[in-house]
Amino acid sequence: MNEGNASVIFLNRGTASYLSDKEPDHFTSKPSLDHVLCRDANGKPTAIYGADTWDLNPYRLSASRISAMYLTDLVDCEDETFRSQLIEEARFILYLLMYFSAGGHLGRLSASTILQYWSLSRQMAKFCASTLNNDLASGISLFELLSSSSYLRGYLGQKDLSLNQRKQTAALLGCLNSIDPEVLGFESCPRNLFNFERNDDKQHPVIPARIYIALMNHLDSLLLAVHPFRENIRNLIFEFEDPLAGRLIKTQLRTLGHKNRHLCRPTMEELIKRHGLEDCLYQIFPMNQVRQQSFISWLTRLHHVLKSIIHLYTGMRNEECNRMNYGSLVERQVTDPVIDEDGTILDSSRIVSLVTTTTKYTGYRKTETWLAPDAVKKAVELANSIVEGLARIAGRNPQDCPLFMSPGVLWDRGENKSGITNFVNANFRGKDSVLTESEFRITNEDLYNLSHTDPDRDFSQEPEFQEGEFWPITSHQFRRSLAFYAANSGFVSLGTVSTQFKHTSRMMTQYYARNHQNFLSIFGRWDEKGKKHVTPQSHIALDFQMSARGASINQLFHDVFESGSTLLGGTGSHLEKLKDRVEEGEISVLTAKEDTMKMAEKGEIAYRETLLGGCTKVGPCNDFLLGDVTACLSCAGANIREDKLLNCLSKAEEEMEIFPEGSAEHQIAKIEASKLADFRDKKLIKVSEG
């Protein structure tokens, strides 16, 4: 909309027309602080853009009055800079709604509707302020909340959000979707991504920890075993440039004639032996039959394994993975080298491997990027080798081919040249499946652990989640599970998890946090119009940031009521008394949990797991990020579990035995063990005496 096109705020007001000196100021994309939004009958401004109070009653059609909006009351927040940012963003959103948004019977938003959006802004701002306690999200703004599906799902998932507030959120998104992003300042999240009518939307479930670990270990072992054969596989595919190669002798003779048996090409068995693939195709990841058609099926299954590994360690969505092309691995410098005055490099620059996909939106191409741990690099390398083979058969340049180019080109070279592998979840089940072992069947323990990841959902009533059934794998489960387990390591026991996953979790914590200095430049999508990097609406980093919030209170109550361990420390002593009240019947666990959830969503309490138990401290903790375990001993927010205290002490004493006496490592372990032992002696003796 051009400036000046909306000369009044509430157009089509029936008989309530403006006099020339009673109109608000004309629209401008960047309103000044003295921009007048509303005047009374005498022409006196009652709402000025930069003022702390907006009174829209002069434009009220009804005889009853509405409350004024006190913008400085938007939200309580200790961080005054962040609070001011939220106020300014709410101010601008309300301003645009006044001038741009159609609604109601009269064609424009009424003054009372603007007031409702003000109330909704306060609810959203409270959610944004609560994210200051999230070490990963670290203070989400209103603009960021309204432009990210992951952040919005976190907001909509609040327990105390009413159905009416959900509907108002839907209406707000509808209004914002109608405003040009260049005017709005951000690209609002599409309204149609959400179901605002129900609170019981069934998300893709988090894969139970036991199955998740088994799946991870199974896929990792397959990848490590097959990856060394990638060039052999490519060279075997090259053989099929000859249409008769790998066919049964009797099939070849129908083409060559029985008198030309000497012209027969090598059979599939002979080709496998020629390229040293007996172990790979017969033992490690076996084909069903030694035939060319079975090899095509084998490549499809291998594609499914490789794609699943990429989902598992990057959290990419299905369509994002399908858009990957040959050569999608890149390396990016994330920190500059530290160089002294003499030019000596004190600390080298840090390089991370990334996987990219490019898609086309609104007429120009956009690239999105994800962290690529070693397993993803190996998976892409193996997929690249397969593309190189298939591209030659199809007569194409590998650089122009999708990463998961359909192996069907080996069978039908006319119709499958540009297609990708047809991925169906059935590839994980049935006679030709990837996962057939009993460890992928659901147990009663899995269902119990599953209930902790989504306490409001009864999985036992859903047919696909019955005990004894194979876990119904979908690609999106990998995304949610990665975000959940990486952000909440320790919520469930992942003691046998692979080193690869631990490395991935550390990388995500380091690079996917919002406050990482290069987050946007590395993972942001380049906005051609705005000439800047913007956060992709659906990136796994956003789900990862919000996952830390979702399970924290569940972890707190697990530590208090289910661990069976004595609680010590500043907050631990208080929680131990709370546990006693529940056991004595004074209050219920459900009541205690609901009250605690409300406190968490208001930002009054937070919870993160530590090596000694947990911490309820609100806001970031440098000691937690640096791994200083003994700092928890004197922290007022510490919830120290007896079993974890004794476990840490035992490990510290073991390290003293491992490292040579006098070494720095030995001294550190000795100091840590001494502090832990002193705490044990003082606190546990005190508890036993009490």
**What pLDDT shows up at residue 191?**
82
> Mapped to the 3 state alphabet, what secondary structure does 649-675 carry?
HHHHHHHHHHCCCCCHHHHHHHHHHHH
**What pLDDT shows up at residue 407?**
92
Digit-coded pLDDT (tens) for 325-369? 998 887 776 556 556 667 665 555 555 677 777 654 333 345 678
Phi, psi torsion values for 145, nearest 5 degrees: -60, -45
**What pLDDT shows up at residue 45?**
92
**What pLDDT shows up at residue 48?**
94
User: Do 172 and 41 share a structural domain?
Assistant: yes
Count of alpha carbons within 13 angstroms of residue 71, beta-carbon side: 22
Q: What DSSP state is assigned to residue 282?
A: I
**What pLDDT shows up at residue 358?**
62
Mean pLDDT lowest among 30-44, 195-209, 275-289: 195-209
As a whole number, mean pLDDT of residues 431-443 equals 72
As a whole number, mean pLDDT of residues 596-616 equals 61
**What pLDDT shows up at residue 227?**
96
The answer to whether the beta carbons of residues 59 and 38 sit under 8 Å apart is yes
**What pLDDT shows up at residue 171?**
87
Kindly indicate the confidence band of residue 490, based on its pLDDT and cuts at 50, 70 and 90. very low
The answer to whether position 4 is within a domain reads no
Between the CA atoms of 25, 27, 30 and 31, what dihedral angle is there, to the nearest 10 degrees?
20
As a whole number, mean pLDDT of residues 387-408 equals 92
The answer to whether position 13 is within a domain reads no
**What pLDDT shows up at residue 385?**
97
**What pLDDT shows up at residue 282?**
94
Last residue within a domain, chosen from 516, 550, 584: 550
Last residue within a domain, chosen from 193, 225, 243: 193
Digit-coded pLDDT (tens) for 382-394? 999 999 999 999 9
Judge whether residue 501 has pLDDT over 50.
Answer: yes
pTM above 0.75, yes or no: no
Kindly indicate the confidence band of residue 372, based on its pLDDT and cuts at 50, 70 and 90. confident
User: Do 538 and 573 share a structural domain?
Assistant: no
3-state SS assignment for residue 200 = coil
3-state SS assignment for residue 610 = strand
Residue 402 in tokens:
């999708």
The answer to whether position 12 is within a domain reads no
User: Do 356 and 222 share a structural domain?
Assistant: yes
Residue 409 in tokens:
């080109």
Judge whether residue 242 has pLDDT over 80.
Answer: yes
User: Do 526 and 395 share a structural domain?
Assistant: yes
The answer to whether position 9 is within a domain reads no
Kindly indicate the confidence band of residue 422, based on its pLDDT and cuts at 50, 70 and 90. confident
List of residues 6+ apart from 279 with CB closer than 8 A: none
User: Do 100 and 119 share a structural domain?
Assistant: yes
User: Do 536 and 649 share a structural domain?
Assistant: no
The answer to whether position 7 is within a domain reads no
**What pLDDT shows up at residue 93?**
93
User: Do 218 and 167 share a structural domain?
Assistant: no
* Helix pair angle (589-601, 111-130), 10° resolution: 110
Mean pLDDT lowest among 278-287, 304-313, 504-513: 504-513
Most confident of 80-94, 150-164, 607-621, 633-647: 80-94
User: Do 559 and 544 share a structural domain?
Assistant: no
As a whole number, mean pLDDT of residues 379-408 equals 93
What is the number of domains present in the chain?
3
Mean pLDDT lowest among 80-84, 126-130, 379-383, 507-511: 507-511
User: Do 395 and 284 share a structural domain?
Assistant: yes
Judge whether residue 2 has pLDDT over 50.
Answer: no
Digit-coded pLDDT (tens) for 171-214? 899 889 888 888 888 888 888 777 665 444 567 888 888 888 88
The answer to whether position 5 is within a domain reads no
**What pLDDT shows up at residue 269?**
94
Mean pLDDT lowest among 13-17, 39-43, 192-196, 522-526: 13-17
User: Do 560 and 543 share a structural domain?
Assistant: no
**What pLDDT shows up at residue 566?**
65
687 vs 459, more confident: 459
Judge whether residue 293 has pLDDT over 80.
Answer: yes
β-bridge mates for residue 366, sequence order: 359
**What pLDDT shows up at residue 611?**
74
Phi, psi torsion values for 430, nearest 5 degrees: 95, -175
Judge whether residue 271 has pLDDT over 80.
Answer: yes
Residue 380 in tokens:
């892409």
Kindly indicate the confidence band of residue 35, based on its pLDDT and cuts at 50, 70 and 90. very high
Residue 501 in tokens:
């996953």
147 vs 7, more confident: 147
The answer to whether position 47 is within a domain reads yes
**What pLDDT shows up at residue 309?**
92
3-state SS assignment for residue 346 = strand
561 vs 120, more confident: 120
**What pLDDT shows up at residue 274?**
95
User: Do 562 and 519 share a structural domain?
Assistant: no
**What pLDDT shows up at residue 20?**
38
Digit-coded pLDDT (tens) for 533-576? 555 555 555 555 555 444 455 555 555 555 556 666 655 566 66
Last residue within a domain, chosen from 550, 575, 593: 550
Domain, as residue range, for 591: 552-689
Q: How many CB atoms lie within 10 A of CB 517?
A: 9
Judge whether residue 685 has pLDDT over 60.
Answer: no
The answer to whether the beta carbons of residues 129 and 606 sit under 8 Å apart is no
Kindly indicate the confidence band of residue 163, based on its pLDDT and cuts at 50, 70 and 90. confident
User: Do 593 and 544 share a structural domain?
Assistant: no
User: What is d(CA 71, CA 51) in angstroms, rounded to the nearest whole number?
Assistant: 8
Judge whether residue 225 has pLDDT over 50.
Answer: yes
Smallest Cα–Cα separation from 615: which of 675, 552, 532, 661? 552
H or E stretch covering 508: helix 499-511
